[in-house]
Amino acid sequence: MTAPALLTVDGLTVRFRLRDALVHAVTDLSLTLRPGELLAVVGESGCGKSVLAHALLGLLPRNAAVTGHARLRAPGRDDVDLIGAGERHLARHVRGRGVGLVPQSPATALTPVRTGRKLLEETLRAHGHTRRDAPAAADRIAADVGLDPADLDRYPHELSGGMAQRLATALALAPDPPVLLADEPTTGLDRPLVDHTLDLLRRRCDTGAAVLLITHDLAAARRVADTVAVMYASRIVEHRPTEALFDDPAHPYTAGLLDALPDRAFVPVPGHPPALTDLPGGCAFAPRCARATDTCATVPRLDAEGAGRVACHHPLREEVPA
Amino acid sequence: MTDLALPARVRRLRRPGSAGTTVAVVVLAGVVAAALLAPVLWPLDQSAVDLSRTRLAPSADNLAGTDDLGRDVALRSLYGLRVSLLVGAVAALVAAVIGGLVGALAGSVGGWVDRALMRVVDTVAALPHLLLGIFIVAMLRPSLGAVIASIALTHWLSTARIVRSELLSLRNRPFVDAAISGGASRARVLTRHLLPHVLPRLALATTLMVPHAVWHETALSFLGLGLPPHLASIGNMINDGQRSLLTGAWWASIVPGLLLVAATLALAVLTGRWRDRLDPRVRAELQL
Amino acid sequence: MTVTAPDATDAVAPGAAPAAGLAAHQVSVAYGRQRVLDRVDLRIAPGETVGLRGPSGSGKSTLARVLALLHAPDSGHLTLDGSPVRGARHRLPASVRTRVAILFQSPRAATDPRLSLADIVAEPLRATGTPREQAAARTAELADLVGLTTDLLTRRPHAVSDGQLQRACLARALVHRPDYLLCDEATAMLDASTQAHVAAVIGDYQRRQGAGVLVITHDPALMARWATRVVDLPAA
């Protein structure tokens, strides 16, 4: 891929100060997202992947400290660093317009007192459509996400989970953001709806946008992602093209996670993940890893970009071509 | 790994509106302390009549002037606030007990008990509550007890509704299901799993009710139906001050009025902030 | 009669000898005018893992709550090892309720945010009169079984991850050694490793105790791997 990156995350680090502890939520995370690319970030709950999404939208709670950069370079817009930008700038120019969000639980993310059509038309008009052409555009976007125009006239509480998810997706797509974040968009949906939602994200990429899919569902990532980044204990440990990662994992943690799938060995990774308040020094996976040696007392290096990178002193394969 | 020190900007970010909280704390602490300590700080007789010094304008001797009987308005206002706050607090507590019991009964038993109790609540709520309060004091002899009864009997309705709706929304939550499935008795579910979630709301509602109760007492006293006239209460003072108002002695009713506004406003601001901290919708929680 | 019993063992012929198992007989449930379950038969025999499958809105969760003795059906009834069960929740004695345990999808909704994980696990024991020391010993035993450290046990729900909290819920569900365990999308929010771990702990328990398990899941791979028998619940 040679197109210039839409989003470049560089050395992103997020810490939360709790009363008696420091939470290492995201550590030195770098990735690039190019037009047409769908990158899935996978990992167990509590590995920091949701914090990544919130950090990119400037939606972290007050006790968070963020360092690093996340540059959004969309054609026809000013470049902006999502980490340094002030709340006003983010609210006016970035959220929605520059970076869209498909939320985790659409039923609670939608304003209950307006119909889907009202919500969608308001969003469209806030982003440059006129009162005249907003209704037609609303119908078009609704059709894109597979929402019946009749369902558009209902209130959010009258929608099923799947329809609410499609409406939330339509709202995220309405401002036509170059980058879309999807934070666990399929939790609680049944299989046909999961597939439908994923296919929508895929189609979005095919129009030149970029999608960052955050999920714990490996099957979902495999279905739609171009590349998959595996997070463990606040860091990316492996980032590879999807097929390569699923067929021939390089990091022992990735291999363990894949072995836990019900259509593979269905055996959990031995041991349990460390608390983000109390990470071991060196490679955080070493205490659970059969291949660990003394070398693992230092943190393994990870390339800053590319999709052929693995952070391991003893990878399962030496060459990890992108 | 570099351990990251938190930038000062993040560590000391002030909550929006925290200046208001500080002012409210200072005002409330000052007013309440002055009211409670008045007998110690100024061991003068607030009810001492001095007909040679009537309706004096505010001066160094009488900070808020004197009334038509020559009594010091500032001192008498503090004594009045003592009585008003005490009556308000006791009445709010009684109302909380009545409302809490009715709400807990309706919300935990349900069925026809719930329907009957809520019908009573709706009926009482439909009556103008000051009028109802006047009716209640009119039936009793004017006394501290009568005023408290009048306030408590007209202010328990919102508490009952809050407690009931909290209980109803908690009753079918998965964590209550899990407790029942684990073998917890009705009493244990109520005392260990439901009420601990309701009590903070009840405490909040009670505190929010104190300013209401104080104003209700003031209104009754102003109408001459409240506390006996020899007891300094804010309402009695505003009522007395009316006579002086016509002669241009505005301070006799304005000063106690302002004191009441300051105290109740500060109390309302503080309870509002407390509610924000209690309410999970306002509280930004850390989700890992 | 509507088509609800794809497996012959789910329907019990009138007058047949009562069999071991947790069974729903012709169970119907409606919320207001909306009928959620329509004359459903389902039996979970000791030792088996029944997979329950059906489209969104087909009433899978409602059926799980009925079987968990948390919701009385509007018509039809349950039998527990042959004896009829009348009513639900507090109408049933604790000794009956504790024979069936349920694990929900969201561990956050299923735990009291005020309690520590240790208190959450021990609560069913304390609620049924087990002395404190004995309850603490059993809590430690279960924490070990589900892989919760002593440090995690002292924390409250907001300070642990979904996976850790769901393991605490599993420990709580097993605390009374139930004969039947119902898992309502219990691993849908968990990563693959935690899901495999939870399934393995349940499998071990089931083999030792001879317990019957119901699994509700949208994931065909998980269903195929976990359930010994699959029942389809058609849309109501």
Instruction: Choose among A262, A266, A230: nearest CA to A245.
Output: A230
Confidence (pLDDT) at A320 = 63
Instruction: Choose among A44, A41, A45: nearest CA to A12.
Output: A41
If pLDDT is split at 50, 70 and 90, which confidence band does C2 have? very low
Q: What is the domain range of residue B206? A: 3-43+68-286
Residues contacting residue C220 through CB under 8 Å, at least 6 positions apart: A191
If pLDDT is split at 50, 70 and 90, which confidence band does C52 have? very high
C91 touches chain B (CB under 8 A): no
Over its C-alpha atoms, chain C yields an Rg (Å, rounded) of 18
The CA distance from A121 to the nearest CA of chain C, in Å, is 29
Give SS3 for C28.
strand
Residue B55 lies in a domain: no
User: Beta strand A99-102 with C229-232: parallel, antiparallel or unpaired?
Assistant: unpaired
Compute CA distances A242 → A110, A181, A310, C193, whole Å: 33, 18, 14, 19
Please answer yes or no on whether A46 and C152 come within 8 Å at the CB atom.
no
Please answer yes or no on whether B179 and C97 come within 8 Å at the CB atom.
no
Size of interface A-C (CB pairs under 8 A): 91
The interface predicted TM-score (ipTM) is: 0.90
| Contact call for residues B280 and B31 (beta carbons, < 8 A) | no
Chosen for mutation from B108, B170, B171, B175 (greatest number of chain C CBs closer than 10 Å) is B175
- Chain B residue with Cα closest to A280: B1
Chosen for mutation from B9, B11, B12, B286 (greatest number of chain A CBs closer than 10 Å) is B286
Strand (E) or helix (H) holding C84: strand C83-85
Residues contacting residue C32 through CB under 8 Å, at least 6 positions apart: none
Give the Cα separation of A279 and A233 in Å (integer).
Answer: 7
| Contact call for residues B60 and B72 (beta carbons, < 8 A) | no
Look at residue C200 and tell me whether its pLDDT is greater than 50: yes
Query: Which chain C residues have a beta carbon less than 8 Å from that of B177?
Result: 65, 68, 70, 102, 104, 110
Give the Cα separation of A103 and A115 in Å (integer).
Answer: 18
Please answer yes or no on whether B174 and C106 come within 8 Å at the CB atom.
yes
Instruction: Name the least confident of A15-29, A189-203, C6-20, C136-150.
Output: C6-20
Angle ∠(B87,B92,B97) on CA atoms, nearest 5: 130
Contacts for C82-87 with beta carbons within 8 Å, 24 or more apart?
C82/C17, C82/C18, C82/C19, C82/C20, C83/C18
* DSSP state at residue A95: B
| Contact call for residues A34 and A262 (beta carbons, < 8 A) | no
- Whole-structure pTM value: 0.82
Number of domains in chain B: 1
Confidence (pLDDT) at B279 = 53
Confidence (pLDDT) at A7 = 95
Over its C-alpha atoms, chain A yields an Rg (Å, rounded) of 20
Residues contacting residue A18 through CB under 8 Å, at least 6 positions apart: A63, A277, B286, C159
Query: Which chain B residues have a beta carbon less than 8 Å from that of C123?
Result: 179, 182, 184, 192
Angle between helices B251-278 and B234-245 (to 10 degrees): 140
* Tokens (6 digits) for A1: 């891929």
Give the Cα separation of A26 and A15 in Å (integer).
Answer: 7
> Which residue of A188, A191, A266 is in closest CB contact with C220?
A191
pLDDT, one tens digit per residue, over C71-89 is: 999 999 999 999 999 999 9
Query: Which chain C residues have a beta carbon less than 8 Å from that of A261?
Result: 192, 196, 221
Give the Cα separation of B253 and A241 in Å (integer).
Answer: 80
Angle ∠(A102,A104,A109) on CA atoms, nearest 5: 75
**Alpha carbon of residue B149 to chain centroid:** 15
| Contact call for residues B114 and B107 (beta carbons, < 8 A) | yes
Give the Cα separation of C97 and A310 in Å (integer).
Answer: 50
Residue B57 lies in a domain: no
Give the Cα separation of C152 and C116 in Å (integer).
Answer: 9
Which strands, in side-by-side order, build the sheet including C22-31? C34-44, C22-31, C75-80, C83-85
C55 touches chain A (CB under 8 A): yes
Residue A80 φ then ψ, to 5°: -145, 140
Most confident range (mean pLDDT) of B63-77, C32-46, C115-129 is C115-129
| Contact call for residues A217 and A281 (beta carbons, < 8 A) | no
Residue B62 lies in a domain: no
Compute CA distances A131 → A57, A124, A126, C222, whole Å: 28, 9, 10, 49
Residue B50 lies in a domain: no
Residue B20 lies in a domain: yes
- Token pair 């459903």 is found at C40
Rounded to the nearest integer, the mean pLDDT of chain C is: 90
Look at residue C18 and tell me whether its pLDDT is greater than 60: no
* For range C43-67, the mean pLDDT: 92
| Contact call for residues B236 and B67 (beta carbons, < 8 A) | no
**Alpha carbon of residue B224 to chain centroid:** 22
Q: What string of pLDDT tens digits covers the 288 residues of chain B?
A: 333 333 333 333 334 456 778 888 888 888 878 777 777 777 666 667 777 777 777 777 777 777 777 777 888 888 888 888 888 899 999 999 999 999 999 988 888 999 999 999 999 888 888 888 888 888 887 788 888 999 999 899 999 999 999 999 898 889 999 999 999 999 999 999 998 889 888 888 888 888 888 888 888 888 888 787 777 788 888 877 777 777 777 787 888 888 888 888 888 888 877 776 665 443 333 333
CATH of the domain at B152: 1.10.3720.10
| Higher per-residue confidence, C37 vs B33 | C37
Residue B169 lies in a domain: yes
Instruction: Choose among A10, A24, A9: nearest CA to A64.
Output: A24
If pLDDT is split at 50, 70 and 90, which confidence band does C165 have? very high
Residues 144-173, chain B, touching C (beta carbon < 8 A): 173
C182 touches chain B (CB under 8 A): no
Q: How far is it between the farthest Cα atoms of chain C?
A: 54
Instruction: Choose among C69, B58, C56: nearest CA to A188.
Output: C56
**Alpha carbon of residue A196 to chain centroid:** 17
Instruction: Choose among B7, B276, B278: nearest CA to A17.
Output: B7
Give chain A's residues under pLDDT 70.
1-2, 106-108, 319-322
A15 touches chain B (CB under 8 A): yes
Residues contacting residue C181 through CB under 8 Å, at least 6 positions apart: C100, C101, C102, C103, C173, C174, C202, C205, C206, C211, C212, C213, C214
Residue B171 lies in a domain: yes
Residues contacting residue A225 through CB under 8 Å, at least 6 positions apart: A38, A39, A40, A213, A242
- Chain B residue with Cα closest to C184: B174
Chosen for mutation from C183, C193, C194, C222 (greatest number of chain A CBs closer than 10 Å) is C193
Residue B74 lies in a domain: yes
Give the Cα separation of C189 and B105 in Å (integer).
Answer: 37
Ramachandran bin of C119, using left for φ above 0, alpha for ψ from -120 to 50, beta for the remaining angles:
alpha
